[in-house]
Amino acid sequence: MATFFGEVVVAPSRAGLDEEEEAREETPEDREIRREIEKKRYGRLGLGVRVEIDVVWTWKSGGDAVEPLVCSRFIVAIGRNAAAFLSSFILDSVCWEVVGVVKLWNEWCRTSSTTNVLPTDSFCLFYRLIADPTVLLCQCSCYVAEDQQFQWLEKVFGSMQKKGVQVTILSTCPVADYKTQESTLTLASPFLKALKTKEFQEQVCCPLLEQPNIVRDLPAA
């Protein structure tokens, strides 16, 4: 339970449910829809092997991360607008180098299936600050399906050490979706609101997001 509104809390997840429990809750129509989606995603492989998301770190030989990546700050920009913000105001210098990519395939996003992925082949890139290699950025401008979000988090955060890392998420949503008593037509846009966990002790750079607004999809995950 949140101690104040605007705090990020961990909600119960269905990600750990076994397939039998999920199957009992599915209707025949749900199963048919899921099968059709799986055919589109995995039928092209022709091997019966599910390969949805793969994280490739380019400075490791073969792309395998043997030891957890040491990271002090991890900034993730999710969505085209947030990714464009990073490109315009942070990455527009020679201070960063590409160190990894996420290979992803779903109905709306198809990245390259090659082993050596170039920045132009992916819509989800990792950058490392040359002056401080423990600072990482992630530009994720591609669509991550609802049933892929847990795997995305598991693969990305499974590659780095968890202790002492500060994670910052940047995302955007339409002003029309913002819930407020005043007219959205009079709001100065764009504007910035924040959510934070109780572990985040620093001062936030903007006001907290008011009730009953929420975040969704990968930023919420």
- Tens digits of residue pLDDT in 67-76: 778 899 999 9
Residue 1 belongs to a domain: no
Residue 141 belongs to a domain: yes
How many Å is the Cα radius of gyration of the chain?
19
Query: Per the structure, how many domains does the chain have?
Result: 1
pLDDT of residue 46: 47
Distances (CA, A) of 38 to 54, 123, 164: 17, 22, 38
Q: How many CB atoms within 10 Å of residue 134?
A: 16
pLDDT of residue 49: 42
Q: What pTM was computed for the model?
A: 0.69
pLDDT of residue 24: 59
Kindly report the CA angle at 79 between 61 and 166, in degrees rounded to 5? Answer: 65
What is the CA 180 to chain-centroid distance, rounded?
Answer: 27
Between 206 and 65, name the one with better pLDDT: 206
**Could you tell me where the DSSP H helices lie in 18-148?**
19-25, 28-42, 80-89
The whole-number average pLDDT for the span 202-219 is 88
> Tokens 């490109």 correspond to what residue?
87
Residue 199 belongs to a domain: no
The whole-number average pLDDT for the span 96-120 is 66
Residue 91 belongs to a domain: yes
- How far is Cα 7 from Cα 5, in angstroms, rounded to an integer? 6
Residue 169 belongs to a domain: yes
Name the residue range of residue 95's domain: 52-59+68-110+119-174
pLDDT of residue 5: 57
The residues pairing with 168 across neighbouring beta strands, listed in sequence order, are 75
pLDDT of residue 115: 42
Q: How many CB atoms within 10 Å of residue 137?
A: 22
Residue 41 belongs to a domain: no
135-140: strand order across its sheet: 53-57, 96-104, 124-129, 135-140, 73-78, 166-170
Indicate the SS3 state at residue 76.
Answer: strand
Residue 208 belongs to a domain: no
Residue 105 belongs to a domain: yes
> Tokens 């999809």 correspond to what residue?
217
- How far is Cα 60 from Cα 29, in angstroms, rounded to an integer? 44
